[in-house]
Amino acid sequence: MVFKKIEKLEAYKTYGTRIGTKMVNKALEGFVFKRVANKFTIFNIKLIDERIKLAAKMLQNYGRKDILLVCTLDAAYYPVYNFARLMKISVNFGRYLSGSLTNLNYKNFFEPKVIVVTDPSANKRAINDAKKINIPIIGIANTDSAVSYLDLIIPGNNKNGKSIGLILYLLAREMAVSKEEKESIDKIELEDFVSKELEF
């Protein structure tokens, strides 16, 4: 599936990625396009897109085995699983145990050089561990997210599984380097990526 600009714009709308919460953290104000009084905010789609590309460039500086994706949102299981398998990175899905990056005796001990969190507020333990070992943190942040410890913010709706799925799908497309990888991603329909377990 070759993503044209108009299709990407429609996807951002369809999957609700541009919808923020009513509350806006001061650090996220620059990403807001407009506010709907007492209801919600709307992110600037162009800025979401730019940040996904920046995050991809940053991640390309690391080996895939050195990247850890952390997500606790059940509704994001399929895209998180598909992204991890497709990009051959590590993933911690569900409950994150403090010390998973710092305690060698843990069964699920990870040694990443960079982490990506889908929700800074829900993934505080992972962020605290990453800070202790001084590795970069990329986070998908909604308008009400705490972002003070993020090295790179990807603005977007992180309360919705399909919205996270779209961000991960676009991130995968931008991270792809080899011809084979790009061709593999082109064969994947966005709706399949966000809604079912794919085989790679």
pLDDT 10s digits, 40-84: 999 999 999 999 999 999 999 999 999 999 999 999 999 999 999
Domain count of the fold of the chain: 1
Residue 107's pLDDT is 85
pLDDT 10s digits, 5-30: 678 989 999 999 999 999 999 999 99
| Residue 89, in any domain of the structure | yes
Assigned token pair, 47? 């800025």
Q: What does the mean pLDDT of the chain come to? A: 94
Q: Which of 115, 114, 87 is nearest to 175 (CA)?
A: 87
Distance from C-alpha of 120 to C-alpha of 23, rounded to nearest angstrom:
15
Which 8-state DSSP code applies to residue 178? S
| Residue 140, in any domain of the structure | yes
| Residue 25, in any domain of the structure | yes
Range of the domain at 74: 5-185
**What average pLDDT does this structure show over 152-170?**
97
| Residue 61, in any domain of the structure | yes
Distance of alpha carbon 62 from its chain centroid, rounded?
Answer: 16
| Residue 191, in any domain of the structure | no
* Phi, psi values for residue 194, rounded to 5°: -90, -10
| CATH label of the domain that carries residue 62 | 3.40.50.10490
| Residue 105, in any domain of the structure | yes
